Structures are given as structure tokens and as C-alpha cells.
């Protein structure tokens, strides 16, 4: 297992490095955009910028995941609650006046 885990760790570190770089670039762009508008300037906090950048990076991945799941994952349909629709029955023993002749 050692040679495979070694390669996996190497590729994971490369991915993490590139993702971190891209995240910092997105954060810088968001901060620049927020500070350039007068009404959005108060929202230019470090936490809000980090959260927004994370959401912008994760949202496309989530959308693609949901799309692929809708294509390839099949759910079993639950049976309908009232599969047999009978006409409403009258209670026995009650005689309506219109039936008495």
C-alpha cells in the first residue's frame, strides 16, 4: 500500500496547494469588488469574504453533483397513499327519508 498512498498524498498536497492559491485569488477579487461599492463596503470583513469565496468555489461542484445524481441515481417510488379510490360508503342502518317509499 505504501507506494499508492505516497502518490495519493503527493497529488492531494498539489491539489490543496492549487485550491488554496485559487481561494486567495477569489478572496482578493471579492474584497476589491466589495470595497469599490459604497453600500457593500461594510460587508468587506475577513470572515464574510472567506465565506463568500468558499461558497463561490463550492457551489458549482454542488450543482454538478446534484445534476449527476439526478441522471444516474434512481429512487424507488413510494406507493401512493390512497391507491384504491372507492366511492364514499353510507353507514348501515341509517335510512334517509328520500329512500322510504
Q: Kindly report the number of other CB atoms within 10 A of residue 48's CB atom.
A: 14
The answer to whether 15 and 46 have CB atoms below 8 angstroms apart is no
DSSP state of 84: S
How do the domains of the chain map onto residue ranges? 2-72
Task: Compute the distance between CA of residue 29 and CA of residue 20 in angstroms, rounded to an integer.
Answer: 14
pTM of the model: 0.60
pLDDT tens digits for 19-64?
999 999 999 999 999 999 999 999 999 999 999 999 999 999 999 9
Amino acid at each position: 500500500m505504501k507506494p499508492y498512498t505516497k502518490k495519493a498524498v503527493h497529488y492531494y498536497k498539489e491539489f490543496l496547494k492549487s485550491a488554496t492559491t485559487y481561494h486567495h485569488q477569489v478572496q482578493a477579487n471579492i474584497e476589491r469588488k466589495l470595497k469599490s461599492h459604497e453600500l457593500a463596503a461594510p460587508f468587506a470583513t475577513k470572515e464574510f469574504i472567506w465565506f463568500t469565496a468558499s461558497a463561490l468555489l463550492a457551489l458549482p461542484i454542488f450543482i454538478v453533483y446534484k445534476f449527476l445524481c439526478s441522471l444516474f441515481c434512481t429512487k424507488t417510488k413510494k406507493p401512493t397513499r390512497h391507491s384504491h379510490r372507492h366511492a364514499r360508503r353510507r353507514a348501515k342502518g341509517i335510512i334517509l327519508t328520500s329512500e322510504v317509499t
